[in-house]
Amino acid sequence: MWTGRPERLETPMFLRAAAVVMFAAAFISVCFAIVIARSLGASPTPTLLFGAWAVTLGLVLLHGPRVWLARVSYEVTEHHVVFKRGPFRRSIERSAVSFARIHWLGPGVGDVELVRAVPTGALRRRLMLRLHGLKAPDRVAAIVAGHEDVVLPGRDDRLLAQRLQLGERVLWAAHPRPSWRAYLPRHRGWTNVALSVFLLAVGVRMVTTSVPTLKKLLAAGISSQTLTFEALVTGLGLATLTVLATSFVLFYLAVIRPGRLAGTTRYLVTNRRVLIQRGKEELHLDRKKIVDVIDAPAGDGLRDVFLVLDGPRARALAANGAFREDEAMPGLCPVLERVDDLEGLSRALNAPEEPLPRAA
């Protein structure tokens, strides 16, 4: 039905950040190797070996994913979506796909995640297939869903309301009501906050111990113009900066980023699908996959609406987001948060699906 390859090879953000940390550790190692060799007269070999290891690991983290994806190909057959690289194969049944997530990397290029609903409880597991760097990813998602004949060409990452399928119309639209609660960490976000506070304390401790130590060295007669002293200051400064920067990044990811993304979230219910857009990420869900709707109080008279999905061997037990299990399913989930028009949403979800015209 369709074949393709990654059009854009990109290393995930967290791997790029890890590579930067490795490169910083390597540079810090070189600085301390200079100090060890010139001031202590000891062999700097162990420190330099650690630096070489850090550089190697950083290069693997930075370029490894792109090397892996360079030989990947994708196929959509009559019944399956297949991820292939040499003898390696992964596949997912098209009929078992509960919803698709699209992560835009740039105009007209993005990743497609195909997510399957699975039972909750002891049988809970994560079933997902990600297709990287696709051209027109929304069109590929439509092909997987069997709607390739109603997808208009020339799509890009404009607003969802401007990129509907042929004959599709919006029945209901909304966005979550702004609230300070959007900045509260969720689930493992609290772990990131705890790590952020710990690293901040470590960074402050490094500053409060490094400055007096450097002052004592200057008082002992070490010139601030020597290579040894400059290497020591550079190494200590970069190590402290790395710790503080990591602390800030963790706090940003756990607190600031979710709150900012909440302000960009949009919900659409059409005569065919439920669509959620949040920043550069989208969720596409066929309404026929929804078997039940659960709403819960969200404060201030608003409601959180959970869409319970259906799938093969997962009858009405789609825990992939329907019960906000963020630990097992990161990313956008079929949940409409802080909705104030529950009646209008119910009417739109219960409206009969209209047959879509066929593209000429």
For 42-96, what is each residue's pLDDT tens digit? 889 999 999 999 999 999 999 999 999 999 999 999 999 999 998 999 999 988 8
Which two three-digit tokens encode residue 339? Answer: 């909705």
Rg value, the chain, Cα: 26
Confidence at residue 326, expressed as pLDDT on a 0 to 100 scale = 44
Pick 258 or 54 by higher pLDDT: 54
Comparing 138-142, 150-154, 260-264, 268-272, the range with the smallest average pLDDT is 150-154
Which two three-digit tokens encode residue 40? Answer: 């202590």
Please name every residue paired with 92 in a beta bridge, in sequence order, or none if there are none.
81
The arithmetic mean of pLDDT across residues 331-336, rounded, is: 84
pLDDT at 122 over 70: no
Which two three-digit tokens encode residue 220? Answer: 């002992």
pLDDT at 120 over 60: no
For 12-23, what is each residue's pLDDT tens digit? 899 999 999 999
Pick 182 or 355 by higher pLDDT: 182
| pTM (two decimals) | 0.82
Where in the chain are the domains? 73-178+263-350, 182-262
Confidence at residue 323, expressed as pLDDT on a 0 to 100 scale = 43
For 273-330, what is each residue's pLDDT tens digit? 999 999 889 999 998 888 888 888 888 888 889 888 876 655 444 444 344 444 444 5
Q: Label residue 223 exposed, middle or buried (CB < 10 Å: 0-12, 13-18, 19+).
A: exposed
